[in-house]
Amino acid sequence: MTSSSKTTHNYNPTNTPAWKTLEQQAEKAQQQNISDFFDQNPQRSSQMSVQSGELFLDYSKNLVSDATWQALLDLAAQSLLEQHRAAMFSGEKINTTEGRAVLHGALRAEVGDQTVASAAAESDQRVSLVKQQLADVELVSEKIRGGQWFGSTGKAITDVINIGIGGSDLGPKLACSALQEFAHPDIKLHFISNVDGAEILTTLKKLNPETTLVALASKTFTTHETLLNAKTARNWFAETLGLENAQSSSHFVGLTANRANALAYGIPADQILEFAEWVGGRYSLWSSIGLSIAISIGFEKFTEMLAGAREMDLHFQQAPLTENMPVIMALLGIWYSNFLDAQSNAVIPYCERLLLLPSYLQQLDMESNGKSTTLDGESIDYQTGAILWGQTGTNGQHAFFQLLHQGTRMVPIDFVAAAVDNLSNEEHHRVLLGNMLAQASALMCGQEAPEGEPYRYYPGNKPSNVLLLDQLSPKNFGALIALYEHKVFVQGSIWNINSFDQWGVELGKKMANQLLASDSGVQAELDPSTTALFAHIKKCQE
């Protein structure tokens, strides 16, 4: 936090009265059963559900008594959550280690959303800037969709390759997959992220260079993996079309917060789509990084996605804690991680188009909250950050659900589904949703083993949330992603950590550069095992 925010000094969640109460509640929870809570309170299902827009959350199947839930709400109230939330939406530099504001909310805001008078004028200026930048996204995306963007030989673009990594890849790729119902019928999107050359070389072999456009997505325009893949694409254009400087042709556009670096790379000025420096990578799909989304579903649908996220932003800021969907999900995660020793969380979408949702949330959650130092620079002696994983149902039922039902580990689950699916039919969708609801019920209720067959025992008492979208529309997809963004923020705030830097990825990059430099005679200061392994690889390649 900046000096204008309430100081974080001396705040430690473990010192709050609520934390002490929750430790006592955790001891009682060992003897409690979720099913009993329903017997004690027939209204539990309705009381422990909340709706925001067209998202409906039922959190009644959690190992949370009324007393525990009140203590969790008290924890949120006794934390710095409300101050941190106000600081974020006001544009304060809450990313303290990098001296940056955290304003992905401004990417979908409207003029007048900011109610704090001191920050309103600056907020409206940010909104205007974002509108200008998104106007460029609209211009380029609609030109491509309309067959009016031509390659060097005069042919219209039919394939777009988004080259990026991390937030410049995961968000757009998820959105295009999730919203394929609305995809352009004649333009195909391809996503390249991994530095593994097989990925891009295999993709390029399938495409016609005359009708291919590369969207080079990099906040800084210095990302090593992205630039290496871009180099391979440039070489492809040179070999097939004779374009020695393909990056300066109509086959490349740049998506970046560093215009100067994009220009230096050779991208034409009018083919650079900018976004602000205060946009974090894993929060950037709402910006010009989302060009591929706008190309796929159209700019009008893209703005509907932004509107859904904005709706969730307003809900997060305005709803009381007891009815606040991101806060509720965050508190449940803290309960299991910090008090019941759950080591991981699963996200199980019952929708094949949301196959990439767990991968996207892994970066959002684990890169944000995988921290061991507080905002005050103190070492942490409590758990932060969840290990998140998942797969679509019903596929998961024939894989890891065995462990979820009969294993010894507690794994809280988020089940996610759309109540209506226009791409499916009544029979398929009824069976799909029936399976999801049955799994959530079976995990909670369990089953006694028949006489002499202990291996058929289901202990039950396994917690889950059920998150239903009315349908998987652009608006609801936007709200879904914003919901998880804010859930991660709430947890980071209560844990008193910086959810918006990612210094943990730097050391591996540095050591990789040292190792690769050793090929040029530079001595790498690495451990003996790594040095020996590198030597073995080189020997195999000789």
Q: Which helix (H) or strand (E) holds 444?
A: helix 426-445
Strands 159-163 and 188-192: parallel
Look up residue 280 and give its amino acid.
G
Look up residue 50 and give its amino acid.
V
HSE (CB half, 13 Å, CA atoms) of 328? 27
Name which of 470, 122, 123, 140 is nearest 302 in CA terms.
140
Q: What one-character-per-residue DSSP string does 349-410 give?
A: ESSGGGTTHHHHHHIIIIIHH---B-TTSPBP-S--S-EEE---TTGGGGTTHHHHHHSSS-
Q: What are the helix and strand counts (H, E) for the chain? A: 20, 11
Residue 62 DSSP label? S
Name which of 23, 35, 38 is nearest 72 in CA terms.
23
Q: Give me 231's structure tokens.
A: 């180099």
Q: Give me 338's structure tokens.
A: 């910090």
Strands across the sheet containing 49-52: 49-52, 55-58, 464-471, 413-420, 344-349, 387-389
Catalytic one of 6, 9, 428, 509? 509
CA–CA–CA angle 164, 170, 172 (5° rounding): 85
Q: Is the peptide bond before 240 cis (omega within 30 degrees of 0)?
A: no
Catalytic one of 210, 225, 304, 367? 367
CA distance 142 to 152: 19
- Residues paired with residue 388 on neighbouring β-strands, in sequence order: 345
Is 315 an active-site residue?
A: no
Is 487 an active-site residue?
A: no
Catalytic one of 398, 453, 506, 542? 398
Name which of 270, 260, 405, 312 is nearest 108 in CA terms.
312
Strands 159-163 and 49-52: unpaired
Is 509 an active-site residue?
A: yes
Q: Which residues are catalytic?
A: 367, 398, 509
